[in-house]
Amino acid sequence: MIHANLYREEGKSFRGKELRFLNEKDWEFDEEGIVLKKTAKWITIFAILLASFFILNTNTEKLKNTLEYKNGKEYRLLFTDIELLTLFHGRRSGTEDEAKVVNYLTARFQDIGLKPFSNGYVQTFELPGVQLATNLPRPCFRHINNHRFKGLNVIGFIRGTDSNLTKEYILVTAHHDHLGVHQKTVYEGANDNASGVGVLLNTAEHLARQTTKRSVVFVAFGGEEMGCIGSQKFVDDPPVPLEKIAAVVNLDTLGGNSNAFSVWSKNKMLQEYISKFAIQNGFQVVNKNYPDHMSDHFPFEAAGIPAVTLTSPDWIELSHTTTDTFQNLNKDKIIRACELNNKLISQLANSDIAF
Ligand SMILES: [Zn+2]
């Protein structure tokens, strides 16, 4: 979640020429964009496998009392995905950590069976030079110079089965980036927004086991914390026609201690539809207003596409602090978010409703 000024005043004010990562030595370019050099690639894959093994082992004890354990298979990988994301030093966009996270997410998209569009799973875009301003109530990025860095979106889709509705798209989105490291302090960003990416992957797994009439596109954005840069790139250079996007459900910071969910949107029809759907299915909804804050639904909304961010009314409590850790995450709330989002996306993808 970002402060609105970062988007309004600065978000679209830069245009780059030359793109590079903060640390280039492990990377090379090919026609599809940035790739890891071979040795670095195997080291990364090995590190991810090793980390998964330890996390799976240590988590078993921790998770015995959570709903994930009770529900078994459906949520088997949910907290592994979320905890893994918190291990990449705050996942600052434009760094190697982002590229490693994107490697992991691409592998997960592939395993789940999401298809790539013709340009592959990864969409690249330009990031501005930023600095973390810590003299604010909530530390946030500020654009400071014209240095160009490269940010990454991960995109995959499930094709709809209805001959007419297959050309309509429901988007499920969540940003994978966070604030990174500042003066040796790591901002893990477990709730903001490893939680949203975990729920997105869980919904992708859920939908891959069934058929839907409409097509469903899953996008993990980079660059959100720097001003919704990745989602703006998607809108500027979309892999599907924008007018065919029936609705966007963006997931951001879902695991607060409140039992309720919040639906943010200027599209009142979509906001009411989702709020009612949630209440009818046994979830609480509190649509608290935060006019000075926004998330990745905003560039879609600005382009006239029906879009919401699903969050928690108390999202701001640990937001952008060093206490936003995996340990402090309300795991049961994340399970509830999966239950809600899985039902909601299934419903939207199997109807022809327009907003
Ligand atoms: Zn944030």
7 CA to centre of ligand 1 in angstroms: 13
Count of the separate structural domains present in the chain: 1
CATH code for the domain of 40? 3.40.630.10
What does the alpha-carbon distance between residue 350 and residue 348 come to, in Å, rounded to a whole number?
6
140 CA to centre of ligand 1 in angstroms: 8
189 part of a folded domain:
yes
20 part of a folded domain:
yes
Out of 68-77, 120-129, 217-226, least confident range: 68-77
- In the prediction, which pLDDT does 53 show? 64
320 CA to centre of ligand 1 in angstroms: 6
Does residue 60 register a pLDDT over 90?
no
137 part of a folded domain:
yes
- pTM for the model stands at 0.82
131 CA to centre of ligand 1 in angstroms: 14
352 CA to centre of ligand 1 in angstroms: 33
219 CA to centre of ligand 1 in angstroms: 17
Does residue 38 register a pLDDT over 60?
no
Question: Would you say how long the chain is, in residues?
Answer: 355
56 part of a folded domain:
yes
201 part of a folded domain:
yes
Does residue 41 register a pLDDT over 90?
no
181 part of a folded domain:
yes
220 CA to centre of ligand 1 in angstroms: 14
165 CA to centre of ligand 1 in angstroms: 34
354 part of a folded domain:
no
- Whether residue 48 contacts residue 83, with contact meaning beta carbons closer than 8 Å, is answered with no
What range defines the domain where residue 160 resides? 2-349
- Whether residue 67 contacts residue 332, with contact meaning beta carbons closer than 8 Å, is answered with yes
Task: Read off the pLDDT of each residue in 315-321 and give the average, rounded to a whole number.
Answer: 87
Distances (CA, A) of 348 to 138, 212, 299: 35, 9, 21
Rank 24-33, 63-72, 174-183 by mean pLDDT and report only the highest: 174-183
- In the prediction, which pLDDT does 21 show? 35
179 CA to centre of ligand 1 in angstroms: 7
86 CA to centre of ligand 1 in angstroms: 14
266 CA to centre of ligand 1 in angstroms: 20
- Whether residue 172 contacts residue 200, with contact meaning beta carbons closer than 8 Å, is answered with yes
Task: Read off the pLDDT of each residue in 26-41 and give the average, rounded to a whole number.
Answer: 44
- In the chain, the percentage of residues whose pLDDT exceeds 90 is 64
What does the alpha-carbon distance between residue 145 and residue 131 come to, in Å, rounded to a whole number?
9
Peptide bond before residue 193 is cis, with ω within 30 degrees of 0: yes
Chain centroid to CA 79 = 15
355 part of a folded domain:
no
- In the chain, the percentage of residues whose pLDDT exceeds 70 is 80
